[in-house]
Amino acid sequence: MSNCISIPMNPWNHDVAKDEKDLVDVQIDGVWLQMPRGLNVVEAAHRAKKFIPHYCYHPKLSVVGNCRMCLFEMGTPKMGPDRKPILGADGKPEIAWMPRPQIGCATGITPGMGIRTDSPLVKDCRNGVMEFLLINHPLDCTICDQAGECKLQEFSVEYGTGESRFVENKVKKPKNVDLGERIVLDDERCILCSRCVRFSSEVTKDNVLGFVNRGSYSTLTAYPGKRFDNDYSLNTVDICPVGALTSKDFRFQMRVWFLKESKSICTSCGTGCNVTIGSREGKVHRLTPRENEAVNSAWMCDYGRLNFHYLEDKERLQNPLTKAAGEHFPAPWGDALNRAAEGLRKVQPSEIAVVASARMTNEELFVLKRWMDELGVTLVDTVNRPEQGDQFLRSADGNPNTRGAELLGLSHGGRKLSTWGGEIAAGRMKALLVLGGEDVVAAGIPAACLAQLEILIASAILPNATTRVAHVILPGAGFAEKSGSMVNVHGRLQRFSRSIAPPGQAREEWMILRDLREIVTGGNSLHSIEDIWKSMATVIPVFAGLSWGKIGDQGVDLTHSLPAEATAK
Amino acid sequence: MAFSEHRLIFKNIDAPGYTRDIACYQKHGGYEILKKGLAMGGPAIREEVKKSQLRGRGGAGFPTGTKWSFIDPAKTTKPIYLICNADESEPGTFKDRQIIYKDPHQLIEGMILSCFANGVKLAYLYIRCEFTEGWKILEKALAEAKAAGFLGKNILQSGYDLEIHVHRGAGAYICGEETGLIESLEGKRAYPRIKPPYFPAVLGLYMCPTIVNNVETLCNVKHIVEMGGDAYAKIGRPNNTGTRLLCVSGDVVKPGYYEFPCGAITLGQLIFNVCGGIRNGRRLKAVIPGGSSAKVLRAGEVYKIKEKDSQGNLVDREVKLEDLRMDFDSLAAAGSMAGSGGVIVMDDTRDMVECLANISTFYAHESCGQCTPCREGVLWLKKILSRVAEGHGRDEDPALLKDVADRIAGRTICAFGEAAAWPVQSFLGKFKEEFQLRIRRNGAAAKRDTISLTH
C-alpha cells in the first residue's frame, strides 16, 4: 500500500531525504551509522535515537536557523596529502572537529561526517540559548495554557540552569493581543522563532504575520489593518513552541496534563484529517491535528477543529423516546426497541425504507446492511452534503464516509431519496428508518408527509425536524463517543477510537442496530468492533485481509482495491 | 619625519578644482580605463584581479579574486547580479562616503568594469539611507554616465549591456551584512541568511549568483585594470596589497581620512606623525584599529607576531603597539583586525567603562533580532554596562559580561554576534582594573541598589 496522496501545500518535507536509499557513513556521538545523504542533522539524530532540541525548525516549514538551539559540534574527515580521508584503526575516517558549532537544522549529512550532540561545547551552547530565551520571558507558567506542553519549560528542565543571572528590567511587550477571530497573542512569551510567520507565508500563503521593531524589542504582529483569521490559523497554536499563540476556544479551559488523548479522525468533511482528541472526565476539550502525510500532514482546518462543541449541547438526546398521544416520553431501551420492532413487523419489507448516513461508520453501516439483507429491505439511500471546500484540506464533500457508504452499497447519492416523498404519500412506503442523525425534512420530505408513515424510527444525537415527528427516537453517539472506521474521499480507510462515553443512555449506533436486529430477526450477537471486522473482511471484497488492528493509526490506502467508478471521483 | 600619503583612490579627492561631474572626471582620464577593460575582455580582468591579491575593503578582508571565482559567467544559466555595498555604517568609518560624495564616477567606472568582468547585466548600488546627498549624487552621476554611453545598451559599442540601480536602505546597520543587504534589496526585513546554504555566490539576490563588493574594493578594480594585477600587487605588502583608506577619529590632533599602501606605516606613525599625535598633550590609552567592532588595543601592549625573516623562515617577533603595521595580517596577529579601516583613538581621559557602554548601546540598538544569542545577549550586555556605568555595578558583573559575550560570539547567524561581543571581550580583558575600580568605588551605592534590583 503506498502513501500516494501528496499534500500540495507543504513546500518542504525535511524529515524525508531526497533519496532514502543513498546512505553514507556518519558518526553520531562516537557510533558509526548509515544515514541518507543530505538529510538534516536534527532528523538524522532523531533516527539515531538522539535528540537535538530545537524551536524554530519544523520539518514542514522552511529552515531559518534563528533559535540556535540545535547547535551541534561538527566534524569532517581528515584529508591526507592524496586528498583522501585518513582512516583510523577501525577503518573509518578520522574526524577533524570544527571549533565553531553548527546548526543541525540547516546542515545536511555528508559522507564521513562527525556529529556530537552532547559534548561540553554543545551543552554550553544550549545552556546559553536557554538563558537568553528566558531573560525577557515573563515566566508566567502558572497562568499559561502552554504549560505542560511548552518547549521552553521542557528544554529549560533538560538543558537550562534553573536559576537566572538576570537582574535588569525585562523588555515590555504587548499582551493579550487580539490577533484574529480565534487567536490571542502574548508577545512577551514569544521567542520569535517565526514558525507562525512562515506558516502564514508558506502554507496558507496569506502573509498576514510578521515582525516589527528590532533586536530584543522585535514583536510579532499582524499586518496593519489585517487580521489573522484564515481557516487554518489555529495550526499556529500547535506549532508555536511556547505560549505566545493561544486558542480562544481552549485557553483557560483545562490544564493539558489532565487531558486524556485518543487517536481519532475529524468527521467534519470527507478529508478525514487525523486528530488527537483531548478529553477529561467525559468532556472533549480540544482537537489537535495528528500527523499523517497521506491525509493532512501536520495540519487541520479551524472549522473541523472547533466542530465538537455540539457534543455537549444542552439539547443532546440522552434517553430513548417513544411517542404517545402526540408527545415524546423517555423509555427504557428495551421498550423503545420493542416499539420499533413492532412497527417494522407490521409492514412488508418492500414497504420499509432506510435513510442511512454517510456520517456513520463502516461498522454501523455494515451491521445495518446485513440486517437489511436479512429482512429483504432494498430501499436505502444517504443524504448528500455538498460543501464549498477549499484548495487545501476542506473537502467539497461534507460527509466523512461517502466512500464507505458507497462500497457497502448503501448510498445512491440521494437520487432515490428524492422520490420517497411521493412513495409515502401514495401509501406505498409505510416504515422509515432515519439513521445517523439525518434530517429527511431538510432533505426534502415534508413533515406532514412523514406523519402518514405507520412507523418512523430515528436515531440521532440532537433533535431535528425528523425526530420531532418520529415514533421512536434512539439516542446515538457522537464521533468522539464511539469507535469505528471510515473511508475518506481519497479512498483511505481510517479508524478512530472512543474518547469519552456518550451522555445518559445514548449508545453507539452499531449497538442500537445490533439490538434492533436481535429483536426483529434474531441472530448472533456482535460484541465488539473487532467482531464486526471479522465478518466484514469476509463479506466485503475491498476489506479482504484487513482487520481492526491492521488499519493502524495511519489508515490503509484502498485506492487499488476500490471499484473503478468509486475511485474515479 | 613626514609621511606622505600614496593616494590612489583618493587621488583626485580634495584636489583643487576637482568636481564630481562627469566632465571633470573625464578630463582627469575618467572612463578611459573602461575602454581598456572592455577591450581586455572579462576573463582577463578577472585574472588581473586575482593576480592583484586584492582583499575586500568592507571589513572581512576576503580576497576579491577568490570571491569572483566562485561564479563562472560562462557556465551560469541564471542571471548574475553585482551589488555595491555602500551601506557604510561601522562606527568610525567614513571612507566610502568620501568616494561617493566627491568622486562618484570612479566608483561607477569600477563597478562597470567589475560587472563586465563577471557577466553582470544588472547591478545595484545599495546606499545607506542617511547618505541622502550621496544618493542624489549617485543618481545624477549614473544619469551622466548613461547619457555618455558608459551605461545602458551596447556600452561603447562593445555589445555589452549594463544597468545600475541605486537602492536606499532604511536605516539599519545590519543592511551592511551582505545577506541582510540582499534580503533588504528584495524588499524584506534585513535578516541575514544562514550560510550554508545561502552563500551569495550560489543563492544570492532572488536566489541567483550574486557578488557583493564594498565601494573601496570596486574602486580598486579600476586601478588594477589600469596598472595590471602584478603592478598593483607591488603596492603594499604580500597578501596585503594595494592602498588602504584609513579613517582616523577620536583624540588626535588631525583626525580625518588618509590613504597609504597597506602596511606601509605603523599604527604609531599614523597616530603620532600623520595625525599629529594625541591632542591636548595627553597620552595614548587605547586604539580600536578597524571600526568599533574590532578588538581594542591598549597602549603599551607588546604582541608576539610570527613573521618571515630575510631567509624566509617563520620567526616570533615582539612588536609594540606603536610598531604594528597597518595591514590585514599584522592587526589580525595582534588579536584585532583591519576591518573597515576606522581607527578610533582614545586618550587617557577616556573612561573605558563609558566607552564600552557606548559601543554596546549601539550594537543593542542595531541587533536585527533574528537569532537568539544576539537578540537577547546584546541587549543584556548593554543593560549591564549601562548599570555599571551609572554606578550600580556588582562584583560579579565583569565575569557575567564576559560569559554573556562568550555565549554570543560564534553562535549567531551572521558576524554581528562577534561584532557585538569582541568589544566587550577585549575591553574587559584589557581594562579589567578599570571595571573593578568603577564597581568598587560605587560599592556602597551598588550594595544598596542591589537590594532594589533583585526584588
> In this predicted structure, what is the pLDDT of residue B2?
64
A192 to chain B: nearest residue by CA?
B370
Inter-chain residue contact B172 with A214, CB threshold 8 Å: yes
pLDDT interval class at A552 (50, 70, 90)? very high
B92 min Cα distance to partner chain A (Å): 22
User: What's the domain range around A84?
Assistant: 23-118
> In this predicted structure, what is the pLDDT of residue A2?
35
Report the percent of chain A where pLDDT is more than 70. 97
Inter-chain residue contact B372 with A103, CB threshold 8 Å: no
CATH number of B237-347: 3.10.20.600
Number of domains in chain A: 3
Chain segment A158-203, per-residue pLDDT in tens: 999 888 999 999 999 999 999 999 999 999 999 999 999 999 999 9
Closest partner CB to B369 (pick from A68, A124, A215): A215
Inter-chain residue contact A215 with B370, CB threshold 8 Å: no
Report the percent of chain A where pLDDT is more than 90. 90
CATH number assigned to the domain comprising residue A44: 3.10.20.740
Chain B interface disruption, residue of A42, A109, A127, A167, most B CBs within 10 A: A167
Determine contact, residues B305/B330, Cβ cutoff 8 Å: yes
Closest partner CB to A132 (pick from B368, B370, B376): B376
Chain A interface disruption, residue of B177, B193, B411, B455, most A CBs within 10 A: B411
Instruction: Answer yes or no: do A308 and A346 share one domain.
Output: no
Determine contact, residues A28/A63, Cβ cutoff 8 Å: no
Instruction: Answer yes or no: do A402 and A288 share one domain.
Output: no
pLDDT interval class at B442 (50, 70, 90)? confident
> In this predicted structure, what is the pLDDT of residue A563?
64
- Cβ-based contacts of B409 with chain A (< 8 Å): none
- Cβ-based contacts of B378 with chain A (< 8 Å): 215-216
B393 min Cα distance to partner chain A (Å): 11
- Cβ-based contacts of B414 with chain A (< 8 Å): none
Q: Which of residues 381-400 of B touch A (CB under 8 A)?
A: 383-384, 387, 394, 396, 400
Instruction: Answer yes or no: do A336 and A195 share one domain.
Output: no
**Residue B65, all three cell numbers:** 579574486
- Cβ-based contacts of A192 with chain B (< 8 Å): 369-370, 372, 375
Tell me if chain B has a CB within 8 Å of the CB of A133: yes
Average pLDDT of the residues of chain B: 94
Inter-chain residue contact B411 with A71, CB threshold 8 Å: yes
Please, is A250 exposed, middle or buried when counting C-beta atoms within 10 Å of its C-beta (0-12, 13-18, 19+)? buried
- Cβ-based contacts of B368 with chain A (< 8 Å): 214-215
Class of domain B352-454: mainly alpha
Instruction: Answer yes or no: do A247 and A374 share one domain.
Output: no
> In this predicted structure, what is the pLDDT of residue B412?
97
CATH number assigned to the domain comprising residue A430: 3.40.50.740
B241 min Cα distance to partner chain A (Å): 29
Q: Where are the alpha helices (DSSP H) in A107-177?
A: 120-135, 151-159
Inter-chain residue contact B373 with A131, CB threshold 8 Å: no
User: What is the sign of the dihedral through the CA atoms of A122, A127, A133 and A136?
Assistant: negative
* Residue A51 domain-assigned (yes or no): yes
Determine contact, residues A149/A258, Cβ cutoff 8 Å: no
Tell me if chain A has a CB within 8 Å of the CB of B367: yes
Inter-chain residue contact A132 with B410, CB threshold 8 Å: no
- Cβ-based contacts of B387 with chain A (< 8 Å): 168
Kindly state the average pLDDT of the residues A515-523.
88
User: Among A202-206, A518-522, B109-113, whose mean pLDDT is lowest?
Assistant: A518-522
Determine contact, residues A415/A307, Cβ cutoff 8 Å: no
pLDDT interval class at B445 (50, 70, 90)? low
Nearest of B229, B226, B220 to residue B110 by alpha carbon: B220
Chain segment A388-430, per-residue pLDDT in tens: 999 899 999 999 999 999 999 998 877 888 889 999 999 999 9
Of the residues A251, A279, A312, the one at which a domain ends: A312
Query: Is residue A566's pLDDT more than 80?
Result: no
Determine contact, residues A496/A265, Cβ cutoff 8 Å: yes
CA-to-CA distance for B243 and B239, rounded, in angstroms? 12
> In this predicted structure, what is the pLDDT of residue B450?
47
* Residue A153 domain-assigned (yes or no): no
User: Among A119-123, A431-435, A539-543, B425-429, whose mean pLDDT is lowest?
Assistant: A539-543
Of the residues A312, A347, A369, the one at which a domain ends: A312
A227 min Cα distance to partner chain B (Å): 20
Contacts of A185 (CB under 8 A, 6+ apart): A174, A177, A179, A220, A221, A244, A245
* Residue A154 domain-assigned (yes or no): no
Residue span(s) of chain B under CATH 1.20.1440.230 come to 352-454
Instruction: Answer yes or no: do A356 and A378 share one domain.
Output: yes
Chain segment B335-383, per-residue pLDDT in tens: 999 999 999 999 999 999 999 999 999 999 999 999 999 999 999 999 9
CA-to-CA distance for B159 and B155, rounded, in angstroms? 6
> In this predicted structure, what is the pLDDT of residue A415?
82
Instruction: Answer yes or no: do A346 and A297 share one domain.
Output: no
CATH number assigned to the domain comprising residue A263: 3.30.70.20
Buried b (16+ CB within 10 A) or exposed e, A253-269: ebebeebeebbbbbbbb
Q: Which of residues 239-278 of A touch B (CB under 8 A)?
A: none
Instruction: Answer yes or no: do A190 and A222 share one domain.
Output: yes
Residue span(s) of chain B under CATH 3.40.50.11540 come to 22-234
> In this predicted structure, what is the pLDDT of residue A549?
95
CATH number of B22-234: 3.40.50.11540
**Residue A220, all three cell numbers:** 510579532
Chain segment A51-73, per-residue pLDDT in tens: 999 999 999 999 999 999 999 99
Inter-chain residue contact A168 with B365, CB threshold 8 Å: no
Quote the Cα angle for A398-A203-B180, to 5°: 170
Instruction: Answer yes or no: do A398 and A252 share one domain.
Output: no
CA-to-CA distance for A200 and A62, rounded, in angstroms? 12
pLDDT interval class at A7 (50, 70, 90)? low
CA-to-CA distance for A214 and A230, rounded, in angstroms? 27
Query: Is residue B201's pLDDT more than 80?
Result: yes
* Residue A14 domain-assigned (yes or no): no
- Cβ-based contacts of B194 with chain A (< 8 Å): 63-65, 103, 106
- Cβ-based contacts of A69 with chain B (< 8 Å): 372
Tell me if chain B has a CB within 8 Å of the CB of A435: no
Quote the Cα angle for B148-B149-B154, to 5°: 175
Kindly state the average pLDDT of the residues B195-219.
96
* Residue A352 domain-assigned (yes or no): yes
Inter-chain residue contact B412 with A71, CB threshold 8 Å: no
* Residue A469 domain-assigned (yes or no): yes
- Cβ-based contacts of B367 with chain A (< 8 Å): 214-216
CA-to-CA distance for A290 and B70, rounded, in angstroms? 45
Instruction: Answer yes or no: do A343 and A217 share one domain.
Output: no
- Cβ-based contacts of B407 with chain A (< 8 Å): 124-125, 128, 131-132
Instruction: Answer yes or no: do A91 and A238 share one domain.
Output: no
- Cβ-based contacts of A191 with chain B (< 8 Å): 372
Kindly state the average pLDDT of the residues A551-556.
96
B394 to chain A: nearest residue by CA?
A167
Kindly state the average pLDDT of the residues A232-238.
97
Average pLDDT of the residues of chain A: 94
Residue span(s) of chain B under CATH 3.10.20.600 come to 237-347
Query: Is residue A465's pLDDT more than 90?
Result: yes
Q: Where are the alpha helices (DSSP H) in B8-86?
A: 22-27, 32-40, 42-52, 64-69
Determine contact, residues B265/B326, Cβ cutoff 8 Å: yes
Pairing of strands A472-475, A209-212: unpaired
Query: Is residue A564's pLDDT more than 70?
Result: no
Chain segment B258-306, per-residue pLDDT in tens: 999 999 999 999 999 999 999 999 999 999 999 999 999 999 999 999 8
End-to-end CA distance of chain A, in Å?
A: 20
Determine contact, residues B192/B174, Cβ cutoff 8 Å: yes
Q: Which of residues 264-323 of B touch A (CB under 8 A)?
A: none
Chain B interface disruption, residue of A102, A214, A217, A220, most B CBs within 10 A: A214
Please tell me which residue, B445 or B432, carries the higher pLDDT value. Answer: B432
- Cβ-based contacts of A213 with chain B (< 8 Å): 369
Instruction: Answer yes or no: do A29 and A86 share one domain.
Output: yes
Of the residues A312, A343, A363, the one at which a domain ends: A312
